[in-house]
């Protein structure tokens, strides 16, 4: 069975649109730029495995899906020349310094 996450846009920053991610009606991620990948990482932390399906809040239409373990290792990168694409994710330096 797939985990379903719902996303809702919250606000726009200099780096783009931010989203809140819900799972089973609870906030899974308060604010993120890449809700499918960030949501997958949060699901891994909760011990959820398998597939994840993402939909917009209030809709039943699945807009993206994939394997939680794979998506948790990814982010989306967009360059000056290239459009958005999946890329390898690494934690932010501030999070590493706090450990």
39-61 pLDDT, tens digit per residue, is 999 999 999 999 999 999 999 99
What pLDDT band is residue 92 in, cutting at 50, 70 and 90?
A: confident
The Cα 72–Cα 11 span in angstroms is 23
3-state secondary structure the chain: CCEEEEEEEEEEECCEEEEEEEECCEEEEEEECCHHHHHHHHHHHCCCCCEEEEEECCCCCEEEEEEHHHHCCEEEECCCCCCCEEEECCCCHHHHHHC
Among 72, 73, 52, 74, residue whose Cα is nearest residue 6? 52
| Rounded average pLDDT over 15-26 | 95
pLDDT of residue 95: 52
Bridge partners (DSSP) of residue 77 are 85
**Percent of the chain residues topping a pLDDT of 90:** 74
How far is 16 from 96, CA to CA, in rounded Å? 24
pTM for the full predicted model = 0.87
Q: Write down the pLDDT at residue 94.
A: 47
């Amino acid at each position: 069975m797939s985990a379903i996450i719902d996303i809702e846009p919250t606000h726009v920053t200099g780096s783009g649109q931010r989203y809140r991610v819900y799972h089973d009606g609870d906030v899974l991620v308060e604010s993120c730029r890449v809700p499918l990948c960030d949501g997958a990482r949060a699901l891994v932390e909760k011990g959820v495995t398998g597939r994840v399906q993402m939909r917009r809040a209030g809709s039943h239409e699945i807009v993206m899906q994939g394997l939680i373990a794979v998506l948790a290792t990814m982010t989306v990168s967009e360059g000056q020349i290239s459009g958005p694409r999946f890329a390898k994710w690494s934690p932010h330096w501030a999070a590493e310094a706090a450990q």
